[in-house]
Amino acid sequence: MPFPWRRRASPQSRRLLAAARLARKSMNDATDLAVCREVAFHAAKRETASIEETLAAAEQLLLDEANFAFVLAFLEDLQNLVSHGLETLATPEQVTALLGPNSLVCWTTLTQFWTAVAAWCGQAAVPLESNDRLLTVENEQLRSLLWTSNRTLPTGEKLGLAHVVRYEKAGQPPLPEYSHIAAALEAFGRS
């Protein structure tokens, strides 16, 4: 008997989970944003060796315009992860070399957006912290959440979702067809 309060993973989520070789049942009732985060975290690990297949699936998903926001969320999570420069994760250069043409456009758009957020933080005198505490989190679930929602700048400072939300609330332009405010509300069940 199916449970009416449980939902099945979307076709996009199922495709990304399969490419990353993650069990679908474990993520069946997760939101698309949670799937993006978990797949990015899994694919970025050097030990899993699924980044190529995962990025190929993302490129295929981008052939349908309806999947743009979903793939953008996945690539943003992945980009944030690899920004931390950890030995256990792929490097930004390794990921960039594997991107298809559509994914590369998204990757570049994300880079430009986060660069704009960092510049705005500097202009608005919004303080940034060192990433030291972020990178010492030991709980894997918390690490997955924090490492995908924060990025390490070349200065070693941490720029995160809270900064992006402040940026958007200050009237600055969000990513095309993707609002971090809406994503944050969805993540906390308040959409």
22-32 tens-digit pLDDT: 876 656 567 88
In this prediction, residues 109-121 reach a mean pLDDT of: 95
What is the pLDDT of the chain when averaged over all its residues?
86
Residue with tokens 């953008």: 72
Both tokens of residue 146?
A: 């924090």
Is position 160 within any domain?
Answer: yes
Residue 101 has a CB neighbour count (10 Å cut-off) of 8
In this prediction, residues 98-113 reach a mean pLDDT of: 94
Residue 79 CA to residue 37 CA, distance in Å, equals 11
Is position 1 within any domain?
Answer: no
**pTM for this entry:** 0.87
Q: Of 34, 69, 49, which is closest to residue 144 (Cα–Cα)?
A: 34
3-class DSSP state of 109 = helix
Q: Are 110 and 74 in contact (CB under 8 A)?
A: no
What is the per-residue pLDDT for 175?
Answer: 81
What is the per-residue pLDDT for 89?
Answer: 93
Is position 64 within any domain?
Answer: yes
Both tokens of residue 161?
A: 């979702």
Is position 22 within any domain?
Answer: yes
Q: Are 67 and 14 in contact (CB under 8 A)?
A: no
129-130/157-160 β-pairing: antiparallel
Number of domains composing the chain: 1
Is position 6 within any domain?
Answer: no
Is position 3 within any domain?
Answer: no
Residue 139: which domain range?
Answer: 11-187
What is the per-residue pLDDT for 28?
Answer: 56
Is position 34 within any domain?
Answer: yes
Residue 181 CA to residue 16 CA, distance in Å, equals 24
Least confident residue range of 42-51, 72-81, 85-94, 111-120: 42-51
In this prediction, residues 142-146 reach a mean pLDDT of: 88
